[in-house]
Chains A and B, each alone.
Chain A
Amino acid sequence: MTPLGQTVIEKIFSAHSKDEVKPGNIIWLDLDVRSARDFAGANVVGNLKKHYGDQEKFEDKEKTVFTFDCVVPANNLGYAENQQIIRFFAREEGIRLFDSEWGIGSHVLIEEGYSVPGSTVVGTDSHLNIMGSVGSFGQGMGDQDIAFGMKAGKTWFEVPPTMKVIIEGEIKAPCSAKDLTLAIIKKLTLKGALGRAIEFEGKAIDKLSFAGRITLASMVTEMGGIVGFIPPNQEIIDYFKTRARSKFTPYYADEDAKYVEEVVIDINDLKPLIAVPFKPDDVVEVESLEKDNIHVDSAFLGSCTNGRYEDMKIAVDMLKGKQVAEHTVMKIVPATRTVLGDMIKNGDLQTLFDARALVSNPGCAGCASGQIGMTGKGEVQVSTGNRNFKGKQGAGLTYLCSPATVTAAALIGKIVSPENL
């Protein structure tokens, strides 16, 4: 029997544990999906071989997945060798591998129906809490913990307290989910949700599209949070009806659930926002930078935060019949094959080609040292990614903003608000 007054994470955990689920308790948690990517995946393989070389290494092979997304295809020997270690192992053990053509692993797990509402998912991706977008618990972990999870089918976890973030007002164009997300990070800072789960609430949250939910949930890591949940609406539930690999149950918080804190954020006056180097919570209005006349060398659209078709479409519509500025390169990377497929079907690639944008194969790209390269010293990059820490994408300066702001920068060659185009 489920005790009364539970938050979303407490409900998901109760459905996946025999232990008493309350904040601060350490529980054994059954895992529906155990995954590893090309980053740290080879170490996961090493741990499994070292500790369980002579016995069955997997509690359930059907629930175990490898994905390649950090550097696809591998452009240096280190990644090439690590990917090959995983290929050999996956083939030998009969484990599903989504190789270099598939795109960002966390998105593939959703598209392929592994991560479903109410499920528990772990992997070596620190943004795996993106699963909160579909009401699923996702968590990035180190290679030892993931190897253990694959072997045991469970992991241990300390039940975090939950805080509520209530959004008042609605998002108005040209603002999008990314501007809302940056507004929340500005308010919470990098530590605001440290060690906590978040539940997002409000009309603007309910109205978020699938892509918008992904944007918001993916940046809970940058709020310091464990995971951030957005209650699944009918669109999300319908999305999984045809693709779920298992039966699923969406969980919603009880009305008398206990929250450690409630934060209210009013977005009625929301303007396009941008995080300046080198901290994701150093957020200002894009317009406030216009007077600085900042030349943009590269404009990156993609990542697990803004790599869905809806994000691509914003750029396509803005670029139609126009050209990227002469001294600027626009790099566009769809999150997955599915997104790329939709772009091909809808003729978007022709539009982007005509606008002189560079379009690459799916993957993490601009947040790793992947297929679209890195930034050089002094290079200014506007990015729809989620981190702009020093050195993360090379020696340059990375600004984080929305697809519309990135595209505006690509068109003008400077940081400008999409409101003023």
Chain B
Amino acid sequence: MKKSVILKGRALVIRNKKSEPIDDIDTDMIFHNKYLHITDINEMGQYAFDNLDEWKDFAKKAKKGDILVLGANFGSGSSRQQAVDCFSALGVQALIAKSYGAIYKRNAINAGMPILEADVIDEIKFIENEDEIEVNLETGLIKNLTKNKEYKAKGMSNVQIDIYHSGNLFEYAKNLK
């Protein structure tokens, strides 16, 4: 059965104390290298963002179904898959950022994590923490249900949608003819 391409959830807006977007969050801030020995995805959630100032308590704040709103060049740095999987472990549904590090993007897409790119995300003042938002992965339409506003991000490609429906890259290939 195909998954829904319309996701509804609570927004967690990852900004600093001045409410500015945080650019260049690297994989050590997302999932520090001291935890790299962890391979069980269920163990990963508790360490998400625990090296990012102001968000060290992220794992406690996050709820299943959350949608993260992020800055530019998110996930730069190393190729660690845990930096994507730690969010899946917490039940995060999707990521919206201005842009992603190249390897992070590849890992996220391969893992079936829906990621969207929104060019002017730092200007989006209309999404605040804990707003209820709805995201259409195909069209890129973001609706803020709390504030009743809309914004258009770039929709996911066919490739991303294919892998998302299958669960991950390896599952996708099982169903090819």
Contacts and interface: CB of A to CB of B under 8 A. Distances in A.
A152 B160 contact: no
B70 interface: no
Interface string B98-122: 0000100110011000000000000
Contacts of A51: 170, 173-174
B170 A47 contact: yes
Contact of B159 (A27, A55, A144, A145): A27
A195 B103 CA distance: 11
B23 to A, nearest CB: 17
B157 A26 contact: yes
A31 to B, nearest CB: 13
B176 A142 contact: no
Contacts of A55: 174
A27 B169 contact: no
Contacts of B106: 145
B159 A26 contact: yes
A271 interface: no
A158 B115 CA distance: 14
Contact of A144 (B102, B158, B169, B176): B169
A148 B173 contact: yes
A195 B159 contact: no
A28 interface: yes
Contacts of B159: 19, 26-28, 156
Contacts of B110: 144-145, 148
Contacts of B174: 51-52, 55
B173 A26 contact: no
Contacts of B176: 59, 152
B169 A26 contact: no
Nearest to A151: B173
Nearest to B103: A142
B46 interface: no
A27 B162 CA distance: 11
Interface in A253-268: none
Given A25-B157, A28-B159, A142 B79 contact: yes
B160 A26 contact: yes
A144 to B, nearest CB: 7
Residue with the highest number of chain B CB atoms closer than 10 Å, among A19, A52, A147, A148: A148
A251 B105 CA distance: 29
Interface in B123-177: 157-160, 162-163, 169-170, 172-174, 176
A153 B7 CA distance: 31
A156 B170 contact: no
A55 B162 CA distance: 21
Nearest to A141: B106
A47 B81 CA distance: 15
Nearest to A153: B176
Interface string A37-57: 000000000010001100100
Contacts of A27: 157, 159
B170 A19 contact: no
Interface in A120-179: 142, 144-145, 147-148, 151-152, 156, 158
A382 B148 CA distance: 65
B102 A195 contact: yes
Contacts of A19: 157-159
A148 B171 CA distance: 10
Interface string B72-111: 0000000100000000000000000000001001100110
7 contacts: A19-B157, A28-B159, A52-B170, A52-B173, A144-B110, A145-B106, A148-B169
Interface of B: 79, 102, 105-106, 109-110, 157-160, 162-163, 169-170, 172-174, 176
Given A47-B170, A51-B173, A147-B170, 8 more contacts: A19-B158, A26-B159, A27-B157, A28-B158, A28-B159, A144-B170, A148-B110, A152-B173
